[in-house]
Amino acid sequence: MKTLSAAVNAYDKKSHINRELYGHFSEHLGRCIYNGIFVGEDSPIPNTDGVRNDIIEAFREIRMPVLRWPGGCFADEYHWRDGIGEKSQRPKMVNTHWGGVTEDNSFGTHEFFDLCEKIGCEPYLAGNVGSGTVEEMADWIEYITFDGVSPLSDERRRNGREKPWKLKYLGIGNENWGCGGNMRPEYYADLYRRYQTYCRNFSGNELFKVAGGPNVDDYHWTDVLMSIINDWHAKAISLHYYTIPSGNFEAKGSSVNFTDEEYYSTIKNAQYMDTLIEKHGAIIRRHSDKMKLVVDEWGCWYDVLEGTNPGFLYQQNTMRDAIVAAVHLNIFNSRSDIVCMANLAQAVNVLQSLLLTEGDKLVKTPTYHVFDMFKTHQDAQLVYSFTENSVQNNIPVVSQSVSIDADGKMTMTFANASLDEDFEIDCSLVGYEAKTADACILTEDVRAYNDFDAPEKIKPAAHSAELTDKGVKFTLPKCSVVSIRLS
Ligand code: AHR
């Protein structure tokens, strides 16, 4: 087995890893909200106020820090007033983007904020710019956050919520270059300035406003947007980038049947996130030394599973997805000087999900387990780390990041994307004396997945990590993710 040297310098402190880098996204799409997270109060599936108990528990377990809602493309067609008040009186609408199904608005503002309280996470709203109005967005913020007396806060009280909710993260539109209005950056940037003006900070609530950023490598969009807005108008701009095996939206590829070649191109495309952050980040920094990047949609996007509604974006989640997740999370940690939030698309039953459901059954995907293994990076401090690499199929296969938390414990996370080579990692630690090492590993055949009849085929297992004179040594088998906690 080949030994790769690694080094960590605990004296070389880098950026703070915002816990929001481990964020998620839930859209009114397919079975993410309805028949996923939200089954309704009358469901035989154990629930609290209509939200599945097993899902709340699973989200809490990984310390979900933030949840984005209600879209996605859906956000720019969503009118929040349709989702408040007596449920039987709520108007129905057609979900034009996602399967043309009827949306009955039974999951609305109150249900979403209550869900976030149950999870213990920050809500992140995507407001409607595409088909909405400034007044509508301004009213929503007042309805949610105003503590005083006004027609809107009184209406909230009549609808059962006395105290306002806290709302930090507000996205002004979604993909305004595409489904959110097909705008030019100049036009959107001016609209952004106008909309954000009327989204007020009520009753001590302070909004963190996110402007709708570029699609993938549209550096022109970033440059124009940044030249028209500044850090007084927005705290961050967003970036959307999905990993598609073929790189082609028209023929994405299957989530379960893929060749080795498709696997390696998937990993290569996932690694491209690093370049995108670097380049968009450099443009942001040219214009502002404060503004950040919010990667509020990322993940693998494959063809839908055969026999499922093409508008529901339902796919399986294999060990390949676990490697992709680990690659992304290591990138986000390493780029936490500029990335302040990231949201996997999506939380349940859509795209690279954390959880899949079928009736009362629930499966934790390999991706879920990666979030669990990485959770101690949340709010820790990134420190310098380096690993010798191995190049296979034109990509470096090892990825890593290391942080130290407020209690002085170190988290090291490694991924080996190789399909045929195991490594021994011999890691030197500078400025850190480890007395204990607890390691765990996620590994299986790259095409393996958890299904409803075998929900625990892939799950983390204890791994061995040996403390040495100079640091720590462990094996990093092919197609594996390893996390080590040192103290
Ligand atoms: O996550 C699915 C869709 O992908 C979102 O609705 C949209 O924002 C993006 O194009």
CA-closest candidate to residue 325, choices 262, 263, 410, 267: 267
Catalytic residue set: 175, 297
CB 71 near ligand 1, within 6 Å = yes
The CA-CA-CA angle for residues 268, 273, 278, to 5°, reads 125
Atom of ligand 1 nearest to the CA of 345: 1
Atom of ligand 1 nearest to the CA of 242: 4
461 CA to centre of ligand 1 in angstroms: 34
Residue 335 · residue 446 · CB < 8 Å: no
298 CA to centre of ligand 1 in angstroms: 9
CA-closest candidate to residue 110, choices 151, 147, 149, 80: 80
By percentage, how much of the chain surpasses pLDDT 70? 100
175 CA to centre of ligand 1 in angstroms: 8
3-class DSSP assignment, residue 355: strand
Would you give the DSSP letter of residue 286?
A: H
3-class DSSP assignment, residue 449: strand
**Confidence at residue 417, expressed as pLDDT on a 0 to 100 scale:** 98
Atom of ligand 1 nearest to the CA of 175: 8
CA separation for the pair 300, 246 (Å, rounded):
11
Residue 12 has pLDDT above 90, yes or no: yes
**Confidence at residue 232, expressed as pLDDT on a 0 to 100 scale:** 87
Which band of pLDDT confidence, cut at 50, 70 and 90, is reported for residue 9? very high
**Residues paired with residue 237 on neighbouring β-strands, in sequence order:** 211, 293
Which band of pLDDT confidence, cut at 50, 70 and 90, is reported for residue 17? very high
* Both tokens assigned to 71: 């879209």
CB 36 near ligand 1, within 6 Å = no
CB 174 near ligand 1, within 6 Å = yes
The residue whose CA has the least distance to atom 5 of ligand 1 is: 72
Residue 75 · residue 173 · CB < 8 Å: yes
**What is the best residue among 27, 74, 300 to mutate for testing ligand 1's pocket, by most ligand atoms within 8 Å of CB?**
27
Residue 201 has pLDDT above 90, yes or no: yes
**Confidence at residue 350, expressed as pLDDT on a 0 to 100 scale:** 98
**Residues paired with residue 424 on neighbouring β-strands, in sequence order:** 3, 475
CB 122 near ligand 1, within 6 Å = no
The residue whose CA has the least distance to atom 4 of ligand 1 is: 72
CB 345 near ligand 1, within 6 Å = yes
Please compute the mean of the pLDDT values over residues 37-60 and round it to a whole number: 98
301 CA to centre of ligand 1 in angstroms: 10
The residue whose CA has the least distance to atom 8 of ligand 1 is: 72
CA separation for the pair 306, 436 (Å, rounded):
47
Residue 308 has pLDDT above 90, yes or no: yes
* Both tokens assigned to 73: 């493309």
103 CA to centre of ligand 1 in angstroms: 17
Would you give the DSSP letter of residue 425?
A: E
The residue whose CA has the least distance to atom 9 of ligand 1 is: 72
215 CA to centre of ligand 1 in angstroms: 11
Reported as a single tens digit per residue, the pLDDT across 210-265 is 999 999 999 999 999 999 999 989 999 999 999 999 999 999 999 999 999 999 99
**Confidence at residue 4, expressed as pLDDT on a 0 to 100 scale:** 98
CA separation for the pair 371, 329 (Å, rounded):
8
Spatial CB neighbours of 152, under 8 Å, sequence gap ≥ 6: 139, 142, 143, 146
Please compute the mean of the pLDDT values over residues 169-186 and round it to a whole number: 98
Atom of ligand 1 nearest to the CA of 75: 6
CA separation for the pair 452, 462 (Å, rounded):
24
**Confidence at residue 88, expressed as pLDDT on a 0 to 100 scale:** 95
Atom of ligand 1 nearest to the CA of 71: 6
174 CA to centre of ligand 1 in angstroms: 9
CA separation for the pair 144, 161 (Å, rounded):
9
Residue 480 · residue 458 · CB < 8 Å: no
Please compute the mean of the pLDDT values over residues 387-406 and round it to a whole number: 96
Strands (E), 405-479: 410-416, 423-430, 437-443, 461-463, 465-467, 471-476
Which band of pLDDT confidence, cut at 50, 70 and 90, is reported for residue 360? very high
Residue 98 · residue 28 · CB < 8 Å: yes
Residue 274 · residue 216 · CB < 8 Å: no
Would you give the DSSP letter of residue 432?
A: -
**Residues paired with residue 485 on neighbouring β-strands, in sequence order:** 411, 438
Which band of pLDDT confidence, cut at 50, 70 and 90, is reported for residue 139? very high
CA separation for the pair 83, 133 (Å, rounded):
17
**Confidence at residue 389, expressed as pLDDT on a 0 to 100 scale:** 94
Burial class (CB in 10 A: 0-12, 13-18, 19+), 99: middle
CB 175 near ligand 1, within 6 Å = yes
If one counts every other C-beta atom within 10 angstroms of the C-beta of residue 290, the result is: 12
CB 73 near ligand 1, within 6 Å = yes
**What is the best residue among 33, 124, 239, 240 to mutate for testing ligand 1's pocket, by most ligand atoms within 8 Å of CB?**
240
Using a CB cutoff of 8 Å and minimum separation of 24, what contacts does 79-87 make?
79/128, 79/132, 79/136, 80/108, 80/109, 80/128, 80/136, 80/140, 80/143, 81/136, 82/108, 83/107, 83/108, 83/109, 83/111, 84/108, 84/109, 84/110, 84/143, 84/155, 84/159, 85/159
Average pLDDT along the chain: 98
Side-chain-side CA neighbours of 142 within 13 Å: the count stands at: 16
**Confidence at residue 240, expressed as pLDDT on a 0 to 100 scale:** 98
21 CA to centre of ligand 1 in angstroms: 19
Spatial CB neighbours of 339, under 8 Å, sequence gap ≥ 6: 21, 277, 281, 292, 293, 294, 295, 332
Reported as a single tens digit per residue, the pLDDT across 103-126 is 999 999 999 999 999 999 999 999
